[in-house]
Structure 1
Amino acid sequence: MSLRSRTAGTVLALAVPFALAAVPPDAAPVPEADPFVWTDLTPAYTATADYQYEPFAVTDGYTPVGGCTKDTATGKGGAGYHYVNPAHVGSLDPAEPAGLLYETDSDGGRALVGVEWIVRAGTAATAPTLFGQTFQGPATLPGVGSVYTLRAWIWKDNPSGLFAPWNPTVTCP
């Protein structure tokens, strides 16, 4: 069994039981997620488990865009560093998030904290929905342009909610 397979299996075994800047500053509050949404998010866990080791994400086509993103307008938290896979922009497949969100860990490396689905605003007249949630935006994501986004904080708890645009526990150096 490869290290990547063991890592994914271990992460899923530990994460799933515990599981039961591209957002405008005036974004509406995020409604509570359906408690069964974690079942729908399982493909996202499986697809991104290996990316807890940031070099695997880069090898698989995710590239860093911009610096660390935080909400400077209202101070609601941060989103961290965005890594985007252009091949997944526009996808509403739970197993193909276009973005990965990282923060700096205690060793100076990158820790995966969330995932993000990104749809270009020009391709959708209204904000799309996924997991019963309406995407935020449109807003501008560096290197991508005007987009709608939906963030899911599946790798780090967010006291503001699973799908909140900002996480108050994510900080930028």
Structure 2
Amino acid sequence: MSARPRPLMAALALAAVTSLALGAAPAVAKAPAGDEFAHPDLKKTYEATKKYESEQAAIDDGYVRTDDCVEDPELGGMGYHYVNPDHIGSTDPTKPAAVLYAPDHKTGKRELVALEWVVPNTGQPRPRLFDHDFDGPFDFEPVGPHYSLHAWIFKKNPKGVFTPYNPRVHCTPCTEDHAKPDEPKPAHPKS
């Protein structure tokens, strides 16, 4: 299954020219139930990135806000990518290249849902992080050939922590229009 990184590349392009500051109140992050993480280093990642539940904290740390929400009608969504160009190439668990937000359809605010690492493909072996291979390689501008890895540690992904798309993330509110013929109508996603 392809990770379809085309929207990330659009987000990176926007990141190069867009920088918006939002006044957002700091939020308190809630750790996964029982501090259960798919890999021990994810706890370190969570501790280093939980402050990004505040969009303003992400912006203050160099993540550039975008207004393109990534969703695939069959796979689910990724949300909005806030990209820190200084972290492209990082395999440091505490320095993801992107923090991902999804719309909360009740409040209208964006909520932190996942993180993404992006490593340019320079002919090196496939990168690994959290004992997991990166997806790819992909070849899209402006990054060019690269690998990527998602970590869904702020919103449960029933497809897995490291799966690129989350079927519980939607850019637009769930409606009857999203249901396929002869399928039950979807319920609104809940954390």
User: If the TM-score is normalised by the length of the shorter chain, which range does it land in?
Assistant: 0.7 to 0.9
**Shift of residue 19, structure 1, vs aligned partner:** 4.6
Query: What is the TM-score of this pair, normalised by structure 2?
Result: 0.68
Root mean square deviation, CA, Å: 2.3
Q: Which has the higher contact order (CA 8 A, sep 6+)?
A: 1
**Shift of residue 15, structure 1, vs aligned partner:** 0.7
Whether the 8 Å CA contact 2:32–2:154 is kept in 1: the answer is no
Q: Which residue of 2 aligns with 1:114?
A: 114
- Aligned positions of 1:142-157 closer than 5 A: 143-157=142-156
Whether the 8 Å CA contact 1:78–1:170 is kept in 2: the answer is yes
Q: Which residue of 2 aligns with 1:49?
A: 50
Whether the 8 Å CA contact 1:65–1:143 is kept in 2: the answer is no
Task: Point out where structure 2 has 5 or more consecutive residues left out of the alignment.
Answer: 1-24, 173-191
Aligned length: 147
Q: Percent identity between the aligned chains?
A: 44
Q: Which residue of 2 aligns with 1:25?
A: none
Whether the 8 Å CA contact 2:101–2:112 is kept in 1: the answer is yes
**Shift of residue 17, structure 1, vs aligned partner:** 4.0
Deviations for 1:95-133, whole angstroms, at most 9, x for unmatched residues?
111111110113222100001111012x24442111111
Q: Which amino acid aligns with 2:46?
A: Y
Q: Which runs of 4+ in 1 moved over 2 A?
A: 16-19, 123-127, 138-147
Query: What is the TM-score of this pair, normalised by structure 1?
Result: 0.75
Is 2:148 the counterpart of 1:160? Answer: no
Q: Which amino acid aligns with 2:112?
A: L
Is 2:98 the counterpart of 1:94? Answer: no
Computing the radius of gyration from Cα coordinates, the structure with the larger value is: 2
Task: Point out where structure 1 has 5 or more consecutive residues left out of the alignment.
Answer: 21-34
Is 2:14 the counterpart of 1:15? Answer: no
Q: Bigger CA drift: 155-164 or 41-50?
A: 41-50
- How far apart are the structure 1 equivalents of 2:38 and 2:131? 11
Structure with more strand by fraction: 1
- How far apart are the structure 1 equivalents of 2:71 and 2:42? 25
Q: Which residue of 2 aligns with 1:27?
A: none
